[in-house]
Structure 1
């Protein structure tokens, strides 16, 4: 009924169906149908159609006064809801590859200005988080997608680098070299496989370890090559590790934010999280 009430108010301002149609914009028959629907809903005649152009009847003038009050109340309610302090539970999913201290700190910092928010933060592989998001189990998901991914909000680029035992003599990481990687469906592992030639290249996996610190220890002991975000490696590698340059191989992923269309006032918190995570990635890239 709100649309019909708005059309009635516009008619009172413009004085003709034609002018109302131009402002909405709608066709003249569509405006006429809206006015007829409102008359049917209220059970009264709002327009005196004997006059050219039609004029509001006495009932129409009374409804007009109330329509203005209703529409003003609706706008005030919308403004109040938009300005209200966010509160409630916010469920956020964060890809395993982004669950390091810097990104975690960005998320925590973004939540500080919203003390009435209860954050439910979980980590997982991107494919799992996307599925949970689509089922409505998450309000927001920050995931990793292949470079060039289209159709989502990109917060930044996560570049990976290859690491090895310091002093190891490597001829070519593309060859039959053992790797220490996270289990499937690890986003970094899929990117590595794609960068090395896709299904044509078979990775030799010396160990599957999900914990990043344990991965680094296995690499340091010479069990194989590993992967880590370049933004973290740029701050300095632990003793016993060194970067391996692999020319011509793109090991980058896009950091993508998925947002529920039903966030309402929680949208302010989600926007803050997206912004701070994007800044953390750009600063350290």
Structure 2
């Protein structure tokens, strides 16, 4: 019921279902359903839907004042919970595109601050991690979004991808005529690339599907095809036999998002630190 109250208060502030949907983020029908559930639970009509946009009824105005009191009290309760020292198991999912060995130092720095917490770290593709989070198998999940919507996810950064190729491939081919060396579906970067090519009326030609990032890079170096690589890593470790190639339509970017369980309690502090370290990781 807390979510329904929060949505109702946001509607009173914004005056628009569309604006509330953007802030949460939710779909507009989902926002409407939350307000309807609150009306059903209270047995009262909170909005006068004869007006465009809908306005609060007299009962809605009174419920609004009480809702704010309840949300303020709930926020104080959460403050009490999060001041305790976190302990127990923290189950964290990290998307494959970010699960690089250089991230280990960042994650280790978080665990040092929480000696009573045992970390369970899992990597995978965004859609799989989001589903595990939905089922309650993960306390938090760091995802890459190719434009897909992950409701209630918070943005914590951005990943820019660049196209790379060996000089010998560049000398004999132009981008779009050769294939790509990519991870198998449902790779987030691959889906973003496929979407860009589709916008230009071009098919995605896959020269090879390779799960391991190191082997992918090796096959690109051998001239098998073009590859996709995080720009932050290329800037640090650019091999001499790899060149960056412009991507038609401009850089490819993925949003970095975090999903959190609403029941983290004191463990929310650990999720906060993970988010901060991820931000620093992609900004380096």
Rate the CA distance shift 1:109–1:205 in 2: closer, same or farther, 3 A: same
Larger CA deviation: 81-90 vs 133-142: 81-90
Q: With the length of structure 1 as denominator, give the TM-score of the two structures.
A: 0.68
Equivalences for residues 160-239 of structure 1 within 5 A: 160-168=161-169, 169=171, 171-173=173-175, 175-198=176-199, 200-239=201-240
- Displacement, 1:200? 4.2
Q: Distance in 1 between matches of 2:119 and 2:257?
A: 19
Rate the CA distance shift 1:158–1:26 in 2: closer, same or farther, 3 A: closer
For structure 1, which runs of at least 5 residues remain unmatched after alignment?
1-21, 28-75
Rate the CA distance shift 1:200–1:265 in 2: closer, same or farther, 3 A: same
Q: Distance in 1 between matches of 2:237 and 2:118?
A: 35
Q: Distance in 2 between matches of 1:78 and 1:145?
A: 29
Question: Does the CA contact (< 8 Å) of 1:195 and 1:249 recur in 2?
Answer: no
Q: Distance in 2 between matches of 1:200 and 1:274?
A: 37
Dislocated runs of 4+, deviation >6 Å: 76-80
| Aligned counterpart, 1:249 | 250
Rate the CA distance shift 1:183–1:114 in 2: closer, same or farther, 3 A: same
- Displacement, 1:282? 1.9
| Aligned counterpart, 1:124 | 124
Q: With the length of structure 2 as denominator, give the TM-score of the two structures.
A: 0.68
| Aligned counterpart, 2:267 | 266
Aligned to 1:234, the other structure's residue is in SS state helix
Larger CA deviation: 133-142 vs 76-85: 76-85
Q: Distance in 1 between matches of 2:281 and 2:87?
A: 25
Question: Does the CA contact (< 8 Å) of 1:147 and 1:252 recur in 2?
Answer: no
- Displacement, 1:109? 1.3
Question: Does the CA contact (< 8 Å) of 1:178 and 1:205 recur in 2?
Answer: yes
Equivalences for residues 56-95 of structure 1 within 5 A: 81-95=81-95
Show CA shifts across 1:153-173 (max 9, x none): 111110000111134315531
Rate the CA distance shift 1:215–1:79 in 2: closer, same or farther, 3 A: closer
Q: Number of residue pairs matched?
A: 215
Aligned to 1:111, the other structure's residue is in SS state helix
Aligned to 1:109, the other structure's residue is in SS state helix
Q: Does residue 115 in structure 1 map to residue 115 in structure 2?
A: yes
Q: Larger Rg: 1 or 2?
A: 1
- Displacement, 1:105? 2.3
Rate the CA distance shift 1:113–1:232 in 2: closer, same or farther, 3 A: same
- Give the root-mean-square deviation of aligned CA atoms: 2.9
Show CA shifts across 1:196-222 (max 9, x none): 225943222111101010001111111
Show CA shifts across 1:128-154 (max 9, x none): 000110011100000000259585211
Question: Does the CA contact (< 8 Å) of 2:164 and 2:228 recur in 1?
Answer: yes
For structure 2, which runs of at least 5 residues remain unmatched after alignment?
1-61, 68-75
- Displacement, 1:195? 1.4
- Displacement, 1:276? 1.0
